[in-house]
Protein backbone atom coordinates (compact mmCIF):
# COMPACT_ATOMS: atom_id res chain seq x y z
CA UNK A 1 0.00 0.00 0.00
CA UNK A 2 1.19 3.35 -0.97
CA UNK A 3 1.65 5.87 1.76
CA UNK A 4 -0.25 8.99 1.08
CA UNK A 5 1.51 12.21 1.99
CA UNK A 6 -0.33 15.11 3.35
CA UNK A 7 -0.08 17.46 0.36
CA UNK A 8 -2.92 19.67 1.48
CA UNK A 9 -0.86 21.24 4.23
CA UNK A 10 2.05 22.29 1.93
CA UNK A 11 0.00 23.03 -1.09
CA UNK A 12 1.47 25.74 -3.33
CA UNK A 13 -0.63 28.82 -3.30
CA UNK A 14 -1.21 30.65 -6.49
CA UNK A 15 -1.93 34.34 -6.39
CA UNK A 16 -0.44 37.60 -5.27
CA UNK A 17 0.58 37.79 -1.62
CA UNK A 18 0.54 40.86 0.59
CA UNK A 19 4.32 40.76 1.11
CA UNK A 20 4.88 40.76 -2.65
CA UNK A 21 2.78 43.89 -3.02
CA UNK A 22 4.69 45.63 -0.22
CA UNK A 23 8.05 44.79 -1.83
CA UNK A 24 6.79 46.04 -5.21
CA UNK A 25 5.54 49.25 -3.62
CA UNK A 26 8.90 49.77 -1.87
CA UNK A 27 10.80 49.31 -5.15
CA UNK A 28 8.53 51.82 -6.93
CA UNK A 29 8.94 54.38 -4.14
CA UNK A 30 12.74 54.01 -4.25
CA UNK A 31 12.75 54.45 -8.03
CA UNK A 32 10.65 57.63 -7.87
CA UNK A 33 12.81 58.98 -5.01
CA UNK A 34 16.01 58.33 -7.00
CA UNK A 35 14.65 60.15 -10.06
CA UNK A 36 13.54 63.11 -7.90
CA UNK A 37 16.96 63.39 -6.25
CA UNK A 38 18.72 63.31 -9.64
CA UNK A 39 16.47 66.03 -11.07
CA UNK A 40 17.09 68.24 -8.03
CA UNK A 41 20.84 67.65 -8.28
CA UNK A 42 20.91 68.63 -11.95
CA UNK A 43 18.99 71.82 -11.19
CA UNK A 44 21.40 72.75 -8.41
CA UNK A 45 24.44 72.06 -10.61
CA UNK A 46 23.17 74.53 -13.22
CA UNK A 47 22.42 77.07 -10.51
CA UNK A 48 25.93 76.69 -9.06
CA UNK A 49 27.46 77.41 -12.46
CA UNK A 50 25.48 80.63 -12.83
CA UNK A 51 26.48 81.69 -9.31
CA UNK A 52 30.15 80.91 -10.04
CA UNK A 53 29.93 82.92 -13.27
CA UNK A 54 28.58 86.00 -11.52
CA UNK A 55 31.19 85.64 -8.75
CA UNK A 56 33.80 85.72 -11.52
CA UNK A 57 32.21 88.87 -13.00
CA UNK A 58 32.01 90.45 -9.55
CA UNK A 59 35.75 89.87 -9.02
CA UNK A 60 36.50 91.28 -12.45
CA UNK A 61 34.55 94.48 -11.70
CA UNK A 62 35.59 94.78 -8.04
CA UNK A 63 37.20 97.89 -6.61
CA UNK A 64 39.84 95.66 -5.02
CA UNK A 65 41.72 95.49 -8.33
CA UNK A 66 40.10 98.24 -10.45
CA UNK A 67 41.01 96.45 -13.66
CA UNK A 68 41.56 98.38 -16.85
CA UNK A 69 41.65 96.73 -20.27
CA UNK A 70 45.03 96.66 -21.99
CA UNK A 71 44.15 94.30 -24.84
CA UNK A 72 41.34 91.98 -25.88
CA UNK A 73 41.50 88.90 -28.07
CA UNK A 74 38.79 86.29 -28.44
CA UNK A 75 40.74 83.80 -26.28
CA UNK A 76 42.55 86.07 -23.80
CA UNK A 77 42.44 89.49 -22.16
CA UNK A 78 45.28 91.63 -20.82
CA UNK A 79 44.32 93.68 -17.76
CA UNK A 80 46.08 96.32 -15.67
CA UNK A 81 45.28 96.85 -11.99
CA UNK A 82 45.75 100.39 -10.75
CA UNK A 83 45.52 99.12 -7.17
CA UNK A 84 48.32 96.56 -7.39
CA UNK A 85 50.21 98.32 -10.22
CA UNK A 86 50.49 94.99 -12.09
CA UNK A 87 49.55 93.59 -15.47
CA UNK A 88 47.41 90.44 -15.51
CA UNK A 89 46.67 87.98 -18.28
CA UNK A 90 43.23 86.28 -18.25
CA UNK A 91 42.74 83.30 -20.55
CA UNK A 92 41.04 79.97 -21.06
CA UNK A 93 43.27 77.08 -20.05
CA UNK A 94 41.86 73.56 -20.52
CA UNK A 95 38.43 73.67 -18.84
CA UNK A 96 38.91 76.83 -16.77
CA UNK A 97 39.40 80.57 -16.92
CA UNK A 98 42.58 81.55 -15.16
CA UNK A 99 44.39 84.77 -14.42
CA UNK A 100 48.17 85.01 -14.28
CA UNK A 101 50.51 87.76 -13.25
CA UNK A 102 53.94 88.68 -14.58
CA UNK A 103 55.52 85.86 -12.60
CA UNK A 104 54.71 82.15 -12.77
CA UNK A 105 51.52 80.75 -11.26
CA UNK A 106 47.83 81.25 -11.86
CA UNK A 107 44.51 81.61 -10.05
CA UNK A 108 41.48 79.65 -11.23
CA UNK A 109 38.56 82.02 -11.68
CA UNK A 110 35.95 79.74 -13.24
CA UNK A 111 35.99 76.01 -13.92
CA UNK A 112 34.06 73.38 -15.92
CA UNK A 113 33.85 75.59 -18.99
CA UNK A 114 33.87 74.43 -22.57
CA UNK A 115 34.45 77.73 -24.33
CA UNK A 116 34.91 81.42 -23.53
CA UNK A 117 34.85 84.39 -25.86
CA UNK A 118 35.80 87.95 -24.94
CA UNK A 119 35.16 91.03 -27.07
CA UNK A 120 34.87 94.80 -26.71
CA UNK A 121 31.24 95.81 -27.21
CA UNK A 122 29.34 98.96 -26.16
CA UNK A 123 32.47 100.26 -24.39
CA UNK A 124 32.41 97.18 -22.16
CA UNK A 125 34.18 93.85 -21.90
CA UNK A 126 31.70 91.30 -23.23
CA UNK A 127 32.19 87.81 -21.77
CA UNK A 128 30.40 84.77 -23.22
CA UNK A 129 31.00 81.50 -21.37
CA UNK A 130 29.71 78.10 -22.46
CA UNK A 131 29.87 75.45 -19.75
CA UNK A 132 30.52 71.76 -20.33
CA UNK A 133 26.83 70.95 -19.90
CA UNK A 134 25.90 73.39 -22.70
CA UNK A 135 24.66 76.22 -20.50
CA UNK A 136 25.63 79.71 -21.71
CA UNK A 137 26.20 82.87 -19.67
CA UNK A 138 26.79 86.39 -20.98
CA UNK A 139 27.86 89.55 -19.16
CA UNK A 140 29.02 93.06 -19.95
CA UNK A 141 31.68 94.46 -17.60
CA UNK A 142 32.23 98.20 -17.52
CA UNK A 143 36.03 98.36 -17.39
CA UNK A 144 37.91 101.38 -18.64
CA UNK A 145 40.48 101.00 -21.39
CA UNK A 146 44.08 102.10 -21.15
Q: What is the pLDDT of residues 68-86, one digit of tens each?
A: 999 998 889 999 998 989 9
Tell me whether strands 107-111 and 96-100 are parallel, antiparallel or unpaired.
antiparallel
> Does a structural domain hold residue 35?
yes
Position 34 scores a pLDDT of 94
> Does a structural domain hold residue 5?
no
> Does a structural domain hold residue 123?
yes
> Does a structural domain hold residue 135?
yes
Whether the CB-CB separation of 132 and 112 falls below 8 Å is answered with yes
> Does a structural domain hold residue 68?
yes
> Does a structural domain hold residue 3?
no
Number of domains in the chain: 1
> Does a structural domain hold residue 114?
yes
Q: Which domain does 90 fall in, by range? A: 19-145
Position 13 scores a pLDDT of 63
Q: Over the chain, what is the mean pLDDT?
A: 87
Give the E-state strand segments of 17-73 in sequence order: 67-72
Least confident span in 38-42, 47-51, 76-80, 85-89: 38-42
> Does a structural domain hold residue 72?
yes
Sheet holding 86-93, edge to edge: 107-111, 96-100, 86-93, 76-81, 67-72, 144-145
Position 4 scores a pLDDT of 56
Position 6 scores a pLDDT of 56
The string of DSSP letters for 67-80 reads EEEEEE-SSEEEEE
Position 42 scores a pLDDT of 77
Amino acid sequence: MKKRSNDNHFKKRSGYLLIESLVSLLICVLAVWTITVMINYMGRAKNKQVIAFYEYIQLLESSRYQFQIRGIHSRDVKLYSSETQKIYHMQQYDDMIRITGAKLGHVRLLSTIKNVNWSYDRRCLKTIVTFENGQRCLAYSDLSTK
